[in-house]
A and B are shown apart, each in its own frame.
Chain A
Amino acid sequence: MNSACKRPSTVMPMSWQKIAASMFLLLCAVTARAELNVLIVEGLGGEAAYQKQFNKEATALQTVSLSVTSAEHVQLLTGAAATRANILAVIRQLATTLKVEDRLVMYLIGHGSYDGYTYKFNLPGTDLSGAELAAMLNMIKSEHQLVVATGSCSGALQESLKNDARIVVTATRTGNERNITQFGQYFVDALAATDADTDKNGRISMQEAFDLTSRKVKDYYQAESRLATEHAQLSGSRAALFNVSQLPDAQVMPVNASESARREQLTSEIDELRLRKESLSEEVYLQQLEALLLQLAELDVGVQADSVNATSEAAP
């Protein structure tokens, strides 16, 4: 097992020996080079119902984050602890520990305000401005940052947090969309939804979560026959590669080096064929696709069958 992967080996009931010998999660392949750090901030609800909702979302994000990183790398600031000073302190600390290759996710759950110039995230005591947040995040060396702000006016953060190293997801298009948003609850749901996993790799990327959430928010307003007062935005590159959760019953992909190389080869050939799709007749395209997919399926399913057999053999 790759030592950089901190995920507990509880995904499948396999023997330790087998895990140690030949298996690791693809997720770990992604995270092997880096740590994933998650900071969740639950803002001020203003009303009991909103506070309850924010708390529910923040707690759910904490749980879901544990599927992709270890507990020591997940920090949740709620209630009285969710102050501007504490947030800045945590970021300062991360700035000292995170390396270039590490990844950082920051979730801002709660209302925002925007006066045409300044975005503020509503907190107990002094609010946190978009400019302050940007300045602090810019101190962090990590070149893989993701900030998700689920509340009203959050679109104003798009401009202030813009950075080549950062993906920014906001519930609203601009700071002028001031109404309470639906984005947060649908986003949290998406992180655990099999529907969101469109490439069926068992993990939810930021892009996948964003796509499903945006769809659900749109459906919500349509079903209510209401004019949509929020339009989610995602900026930055590589959102499709930034995994933010793993589905509970995700498939484990056991491989050895030669199988891995073969899989990569087949995947690359499939990608190349898909690029040529328009130049081929449907019949030829599907024939060629079938040949490649069958090989990949034999490899994947065969390997899985082997691993299941091996697990059974190893069982006491």
Chain B
Amino acid sequence: MKRVLLFMPLLCIVMTPVMARGIHYGAVSDAALLACDQQQWRGQREGANRCYRALFTNTNSLATRAEVAWALGDIKTANELFGEALKQRSTPGLLTRWGELYAETHQNDEALKLYQEALEADKNFSFAQVGAASVLVYQYAAQANEYLQPVIEGKNVPVGARLRALLLAARVNLEDSDIARAVELLTEATQVASEAKLPMLEIYALQASVELLQSPLGTQVTESVWVKKALEENPTYGDIYAIPAHFYVVTRRTREAVDLFKRAVEMQPDHWQARVEYGSSLLRDNQIAAAREQMEAAYKGDPYNVVTVNTLRFLDSLKDYDVLAYPDITEQRSVRLRVQEEQSPIFLRLHKKESAVLAPYVRRLTEQAMTVYSKQLNFKLKEPAVIEVYPNHEDFAVRTAGEPGLGLLGVTFGYVVAMDSPSARATDEFHWGTTLWHELAHVFTLESTDHRVPRWFSEGVSVYEEWNTGPVKGVSIPADVYAAFKAGKALPIAELDRGFIRPDSPQQVMVSYMQAGLICQFIAREFGAAKFNALLAAFKQGMDTAKAVQSVFKLEPKEFDAQFNAFMQQEFKKLFQHFDAWENARSTAIASYERSDWAAVIESAQAALSILPNDVEQDSPYVALARAYNSTSKPALAQATLEKYFSLGGHDASALRWLATRLREQKKYTEAAEVLEAINYVTPFNYEVHSELGNTLLILQRPSEALAEFQVALKLNPPDRASAYLHIAQAFQAMQRSAEAKRNVLLALEIAPNFRAAQQLLLELAKAK
């Protein structure tokens, strides 16, 4: 199926659903139009359509005709009529409504321009302010609040605009998990709507959302008084389920979201946005075929939605992936298996071009993580975990959010983990083994709490586990995050979720990750890691962060924050005291390294490391220092530097490669194997590393592990295939599997008949026979 381009022009005749034109709360004042709208909002769709069609014929107002065309789903005509109406007379109201049309068709940038144009004409035009806020609020813009707050607080504001502002603010607060504030706003909204006799449907849907988010597990939404009220008013109001479902998505309760979206589209089959979110939720629940069905239906109804188009393209690309199951009874004869039934504990969805290389590593790390987490977090997974690895970052982004441009490396939806492949980024850009380790912790924290764990704690445990049990251990914090901590940008624990969900700046997300990890570090040290389980249990019971902290630590959140801050001051005392000196030394080391000024590198890198010894993140002074030592004929010092760097969790592949070579030269094979294995968790597509590791393991008399490495090396299509086959033959020989050894040595000699080492092995095998 061909998909349209991402941003298709608006001028295209498509009958979109009548309900795509949302409730306008008085933004339009034509009494005849309002009469039709009233029928529409009560779910009397046939009557409403008759009313709209009659009005379209009878009215002379271009603006009203535009509204009617929109209501009838003729977007092209609506667009043209708005344009013509504005040529006759441009008003802020008309510009705003045109903006709404663009927003409804997912063209937010264009919508924002129109809202801003309206505000240029009248800076206090409240409907435009709310419109602008509704676009900006999803673009991490603090500016959204600047638009919204005056409308909420304003005294001479049109009541409909104020109601919309209150509803938007309530939504935002619910997304931020500030349920108390959301309830206040909804109470005020209810009062406003009642007094002005404005539609209450959206209020009911948000109230139902509040109720669901606070209710015990297993509560049926159909029992909600708000749902009943809404359906009495409009029996086809799909949003009564779709809006609460959205909050399940926000709180990562995918399965509950799936159930509610299903109800929404059953009730209102042309609610295309609900179908898209339903499809996305099914995808997160690994229901690929069902997800495709919903997306196909959504595309037919609303081809403007980029999420639909991108997701369908993504689904098309899944044919290029292998699905591997472990454990697998056929494993002895074939590593690759087409999965017939999804019963095994681990499923891997890996791109065909990478699966042979990645599968052994992903599997091993996943199994290790599951062992560690099952014990540590005292929870056994109830379903198979699905690990998906995407070589194209944008595929991962679309799989995760429906749109490209996502800044994350991995995402966990419950039992499904999706992440970037190491090939999706430049070498050394991220440690994919750590990312997988991090995401797998989420599987446990989410599933053990029925997805009720707050974001900060789930991230905190994941970061904590990266540092303490992951493939590269050690507290590893990006340099710029320290500056944020020193500047007091850590958030109170009760508000820490905001740092992830609605950050003030892109940097705040990373600061929040690190803060969450440090909070867990603090808890483990001061109260014991067993408190993690107590917190998880509290969250499962439905407690919010403040209550959980009180319950588990017998501390008010403020007191907890004070103790954590004291911990931070102690933990980073030296750094905070000498912060400027550290920053200066670090940047000097980097600059000196660039110009190969080795004496300056040694001096400044040593100075930086004396203040912050565990600085192993990007641009680590250890790497610069080792290079400087090596370039000034001090290889022993270079080696010692990199050994320390490695022990602290440093993972620069080039530096570690050099270290591994040194260790092999010194016959320190155990240490060399450890380093080489670590490199594969950064950059696994280097056949030389696999080959070196295989040879090292062979020396260490670990032939089965060596064989696995050699087999991966061969899959990477090395230029020297004869040697690759010989290595495999040697590993088989060491395992006393002569038949396989002979087969592989013959394959080596088939390529290079005079390959002496292979000839010798062939003769040896023949002799033994």
**Residues of A in contact with B (beta carbons under 8 Å apart):** 194-201, 211-212, 215, 219, 222-226, 251, 253, 266-267, 270, 274, 286, 289-290, 293-294, 296-298, 300-301, 304
Contact assessment for A215 and B754 in the assembled complex, using a CB-CB cutoff below 8 Å: no
Known contacts A225-B425, A289-B750, A290-B746; A199/B756 CB under 8 A: no
Contact of B750 among A223, A251, A274 (CB under 8 A): A274
Query: A293-B746, A294-B762 provided; 17 other pairs, C-beta below 8 A?
Result: A195-B719, A196-B720, A198-B720, A199-B722, A199-B755, A200-B755, A200-B756, A201-B752, A251-B754, A251-B756, A253-B754, A290-B762, A293-B759, A294-B766, A297-B759, A297-B763, A301-B763
Residues of B within 8 A of A194 (CB): 720, 723
Chain B residues bordering chain A, tally (CB within 8 A): 31
CB distance from A265 to the nearest CB of B (A): 12
Question: Which residues of the partner chain B approach A293 to less than 8 Å between Cβ atoms?
Answer: 746, 749-750, 753, 759, 762
Q: List 10 A-B contacts (CB under 8 A).
A: A194-B723, A198-B720, A198-B721, A200-B752, A201-B754, A223-B683, A225-B426, A253-B754, A293-B749, A296-B753
A297 touches B750 (CB 8 A): no
Cβ < 8 Å to A, chain B residues 726-760: 742-743, 746, 749-756, 758-760
- In the complex the two chains form, is A198's CB within 8 Å of B751's CB? yes
A197–B722 alpha-carbon span in the complex (Å): 9
Residue of chain A at shortest CB distance from B426 = A225
Interface pairs A-B: 8 shortest CB-CB: A297-B759, A200-B755, A225-B426, A200-B752, A223-B427, A195-B720, A199-B752, A293-B749
Q: Is the CB of B720 within 8 A of A296?
A: no
CA distance A254 to B528 in the complex (A): 72
- Segment 648-694 of B: residues with Cβ below 8 Å from A: 683, 686, 688
Which single member of B683, B742, B759 contacts A296 (CB below 8 Å)? B759
Asked if A286 contacts B743 (CB within 8 A), the reply is yes
Report whether over half of chain A's contact residues are helix, strand or loop; otherwise say mixed.
helix
Q: Is B429 an interface residue (CB 8 A)?
A: yes
> Chain A residues near B723 (CB, 8 Å)?
194-195, 200
Query: B718 at interface (Cβ–Cβ under 8 A)?
Result: yes
**Bound form: Cα–Cα A296–B763 in Å:** 10
Chain B residue at minimum C-beta to C-beta distance from A220: B427
Main secondary structure of the interface of B (DSSP, over half): helix
A225 and B721 contact, CB distance less than 8 A: no
Chain B residues positioned under 8 Å from A251 (CB to CB): 754, 756
CB distance from A120 to the nearest CB of B (A): 31
Cβ A300 vs Cβ B759 within 8 A: yes
B763 contacts A294, C-beta separation under 8 Å? yes
Which one of A298, A300, A304 has the highest number of Cβ atoms from chain B below 10 Å of its Cβ? Answer: A300
How many angstroms from the CA of A56 to the CA of B721 in the assembled complex? Answer: 30
Contact string against A for B residues 690-716, beta-carbon threshold 8 Å, 1 for contact and 0 otherwise: 000000000000000000000000000
Structural contact, A196 and B719, CB atoms closer than 8 A: yes
A30 CA to B750 CA, complexed, in Å: 23
Per the bound structure, the CA–CA distance linking A158 and B208 in Å amounts to 72
Taking the closest CB of chain A, its distance from the CB of B654, in whole angstroms, is: 10
Known: A223-B426, A224-B427, A293-B746. A199 touches B719 (CB 8 A): no
Q: What CA separation (Å) do A66 and B742 show in the bound complex?
A: 38
Q: Which residues of B contact A196 (CB under 8 A)?
A: 719-720
Least distance between A251 CB and chain B CB atoms (Å): 5
A267–B426 CA distance with the chains assembled, in angstroms: 44
Taking CB atoms, residues of chain A closer than 8 Å to B722 are 198-200
With a CB–CB cut-off of 8 A, which chain A residues contact B763?
294, 297-298, 301
What residues of chain A lie closer than 8 Å to B720, measured between beta carbons?
194-198
Query: With A198-B719, A224-B426, A296-B759 as given contacts, are A270 and B753 in contact (CB-CB < 8 Å)?
Result: yes
B residues in contact with A267, CB < 8 Å: 753
Give A295 to B427 CA distance when docked, in angstroms: 46
Interface centre among B425, B426, B753, B763 (most CB of A within 10 A): B753
Nearest-neighbour CB distance to chain B for A145, whole angstroms, equals: 25
Q: Is the CB of B760 within 8 A of A301?
A: yes
Write out the residue numbers on chain A whose beta carbons fall within 8 Å of the beta carbon of B688: 195
B752 touching A211 by the CB < 8 A rule?
no
Given A195-B718, A196-B719, A199-B722, A290 and B750 touching (CB < 8 A)?
no
